[in-house]
Amino acid sequence: MASPPSPEPWKWIILSKVPRTANLQRNDISVSHVSPPPRLSYLTVSSTRIFPAGTQTQAAATNPRVLAADLSAGLFLIATNPRIFRVLDTASPTRTRVYGVLVDFYLDPASLGVISEPAGRGFRVVGFRYQLDQPGSRNQAWLRYYLPESLRTGRQATKAVNNPMPRHTWAFSNVIAHDGRLWWVDTGSASTAGLLFCDPFADSPRMYFVHLPDHVSDREYDDGDSGTFYRHQGFCSDCSGIPPAARRRVQVVDGKFRWVQMLCGHMEGSREGAPTVLELTINDPMAAESRAARSRGRCSIADRHSLSFADIWASDSYKETRLPRKEPAVAFIHPHNPFVVYFVLNGHLFGVDMLRKEVEAGCQPHGMPGPDVSAASSLIAWSPGRTRRPHQPS
């Protein structure tokens, strides 16, 4: 099967992280129900390839879900079983393939990423495992490599690496393949949010970590008000019921990392109690201009934009959606326009243009089960027409 067609004239699609399965006759994978944003499109995978008949895989199978992707190479890592994962290669020059990967019991699936090999010779699934630094223990961390045939041959490799945050319990929300490196995204808390990254193809990989910048001082406040600390950190514990991880997104747009935060409507300086969406453009942490910041474990900021939802709520375009004046969950950033951010609210998906201060491209029910927070974390913005091989570091 040839590469998935570019869905003209939209150039990009919104994929659900929950692939559909069907008895496909000709191909292992298809991109089905291709629709213009903000409607969803779906990966459909051959059920016989994902769940071979009569196997233990089929008996222990769960609903497949995308864990990570190398979007530039059209690779999607999906979980079909607590230990068995599949890589969907949608950019094969002849036909799509489904590969199996058997993963160690002790490896957290959230630490798994997939990346195309240099010169397009295949791919690697890489997991990060660590031992928390405690008195009397050694600071240990490893990269675990899984190659396409590992389900059949058990072919794996392990490399010992450094752990830049030995006392930190990692809470990865995504693993991004970008510029020949893997980037583990931790957005679990305001004080430890950051990017852990390395070149997985190096003979002796070195792990780096940079904090993602918070919009407030790193100082902690406590004047006896149980909510004060959260308000100074931009998150109020009781204002919306949306956890911090669902108010933050990291995404690569036009080759640059973008860092989106929703700031609480109870924050000092907020307008009419409305939340504020803040977007920062992050310089490449390995670039020369970021060297000083990286040496301090910090990101270098290239650009900053913010918008109060008071402006969005007051716009005619938002009123036409008939949605309430309520804080939404952050979903993703438009893959070609960094000033358009998509949100989920009351079962609907909509985009906000931060420069024009209005709703972009209307509002559509997304049709996904579960609360808004779950739906927002289950969407991928992808440009099939930009899928390319080979994938090499710049």
Q: What is the pLDDT of residues 125-183, one digit of tens each?
A: 999 999 876 665 566 899 999 877 655 565 678 999 999 988 888 989 999 999 999 99
Over residues 182-186, mean pLDDT: 95
Distance CA 6, CA 387 (A): 9
| 32-46, 97-111, 137-151, 370-384: which is most confident | 370-384
Instruction: Check whether 394 has a pLDDT greater than 50.
Output: no
Q: What is the pLDDT of residue 207?
A: 95
Are the C-beta atoms of 194 and 186 separated by less than 8 Å?
yes
Better-scored residue on pLDDT, 57 or 269 = 269
Q: What is the pLDDT of residue 184?
A: 96
Smallest Cα–Cα separation from 279: which of 307, 252, 259? 259
Instruction: Check whether 361 has a pLDDT greater than 80.
Output: no
Q: Is residue 391 very low, low, confident or very high in pLDDT (cuts 50, 70, 90)?
A: very low
Distance CA 83, CA 69 (A): 18
Q: What is the pLDDT of residues 273-289, one digit of tens each?
A: 799 999 999 988 888 77
Instruction: Check whether 16 has a pLDDT greater than 80.
Output: yes
| Token output for 90 | 């949608």
Over residues 357-378, mean pLDDT: 89
Smallest Cα–Cα separation from 77: which of 112, 107, 38, 29? 112
Instruction: Check whether 4 has a pLDDT greater than 50.
Output: no
- Domains of the chain, start order: 13-386 (2.130.10)
Instruction: Check whether 2 has a pLDDT greater than 60.
Output: no
Q: What is the pLDDT of residue 51?
A: 62
Instruction: Check whether 108 has a pLDDT greater than 70.
Output: yes
Q: What is the pLDDT of residues 308-317, one digit of tens each?
A: 999 999 999 9
Phi, psi of 138 (to 5 degrees): -95, 150
Better-scored residue on pLDDT, 253 or 227 = 253
Are the C-beta atoms of 90 and 114 separated by less than 8 Å?
no
Instruction: Check whether 5 has a pLDDT greater than 50.
Output: no
Q: Which residues pair with 345 in a beta bridge?
A: 348
Q: What is the pLDDT of residue 220?
A: 36
Of all residues in the chain, the percent with pLDDT exceeding 90 is 39
Are the C-beta atoms of 77 and 125 separated by less than 8 Å?
yes
Over residues 5-32, mean pLDDT: 72
Q: Which residues, other chains included, contact 32 with Cβ-Cβ below 8 Å and sequence gap of 6+?
A: 20, 41, 42, 43, 44
Q: What is the mean pLDDT of the chain?
A: 79
Q: What is the pLDDT of residues 26-80, one digit of tens each?
A: 666 777 778 888 889 988 877 766 665 544 444 444 578 899 999 999 999 988 7
Q: What residue ranges in 283-375 does DSSP mark as E strands? A: 301-308, 329-333, 340-345, 348-353, 358-365
Q: What is the pLDDT of residue 221?
A: 32
Q: What is the pLDDT of residue 358?
A: 95
Better-scored residue on pLDDT, 154 or 228 = 154
Phi, psi of 348 (to 5 degrees): -120, 150
Q: What is the pLDDT of residue 204?
A: 95
Smallest Cα–Cα separation from 195: which of 267, 250, 243? 250
Instruction: Check whether 115 has a pLDDT greater than 60.
Output: yes
